[in-house]
Amino acid sequence: MTQCTELWVDRGQLRNTKVVSTELAELNEGEVLVAIDKFGLTANNVSYAVSGDAIGYWRFYPAQDEWGKVPVWGCANVIASTCAEVPVGERLWGFFPMASHVVLQPGNIVADQFIDFAQHRKDLPSLYNAYRRTQAEPDFLSAMETERCLLFPLFATSFMLYDYLLDNNFFGVQQILIGSVSSKTGFGLAKMLQNDPQVTPRIIGLTSAPNVDFVEGLNCCDEIIIYGDEANVDGSLTSAYVDMSGDVRLTTALHTHVGDNMVESCMVGATHWEHGGKAGQLPGAKPKFFFAPGHIAKREAEWGPGVAMAKAMAASAEVAKSIDSEMTVEWTRDVLALEALWLSMLDNKVSPQRGQMVSLL
Residue pair 294/266 in contact by the 8 Å Cβ criterion: no
Residue pair 171/201 in contact by the 8 Å Cβ criterion: no
Query: Does the structure show a pLDDT above 70 at 151?
Result: yes
Residue-wise pLDDT tens digits, 270-282: 544 444 455 568 8
Q: Please state the rounded mean pLDDT for residues 122-141.
A: 88
* CA atoms of 343 and 17, how far apart (whole Å): 9
> What pLDDT does 279 receive?
55
If DSSP codes are grouped into helix, strand and coil, which group holds residue 43? helix
| % of the chain at pLDDT higher than 90 | 76
Q: Buried (b) or exposed (e) across 166-178, using 16+ Cβ within 10 A?
A: eeeebeebbbbbb
> What pLDDT does 329 receive?
94
The set of residues, in sequence order, having a beta carbon less than 8 Å from that of 79 and lying 6+ positions away, is: 2, 33, 34, 35, 88, 101
Between CA 58 and CA 66, with CA 64 as vertex, the angle to 5 degrees is 70
State the chain's mean pLDDT as an integer: 92
If DSSP codes are grouped into helix, strand and coil, which group holds residue 243? strand
Residue-wise pLDDT tens digits, 331-346: 999 999 999 999 999 9
User: What is the set of domains in the chain, with CATH numbers?
Assistant: 3-137+327-358 (3.90.180.10), 153-293 (3.40.50.720)
> What pLDDT does 213 receive?
93
> What pLDDT does 269 receive?
60
Query: Does the structure show a pLDDT above 50 at 238?
Result: yes
What is the 8-class DSSP label of residue 3? E
